[in-house]
Amino acid sequence: MIGTLIGIIFALIILGVLWWAVQQLMALVPIAEPFRTIIYVLCVVIMVVIVLWIVTVLLGMAGIHVPRFGSLGFPMTA
């Protein structure tokens, strides 16, 4: 369990540094405002999905069952 917590902390630190770097680079690129907002929202969504996936995997390694989309009763394919 301690290893899981340490893994989550390291993952969040690494993702935080990547988020900071992306924000710094976005400020340097001259992009029109609507496109900048769209890119920012996409970055937020991607980071949230990555964080949830990492936390789910690490909790699964610690023995805590976290249901995924396929086991929630929702079909994975149409």
CA–CA gap between residue 32 and residue 18 (Å, rounded): 23
Q: Is the pLDDT score of 69 beyond 70?
A: no
Q: What is the mean pLDDT of residues 16-31?
A: 88
CA–CA gap between residue 63 and residue 77 (Å, rounded): 28
Residue 2 burial class via C-beta count within 10 angstroms: exposed 0-12, middle 13-18, buried 19 and up = exposed
Phi, psi of 35 (to 5 degrees): -70, -35
Residue 36 CB partners (closer than 8 Å, separation 6+)? 26
Confidence of residue 17 (pLDDT cuts 50, 70, 90): very high
Q: What pTM, to 2 d.p., does this model score?
A: 0.67
Q: What is the mean pLDDT of residues 15-30?
A: 88
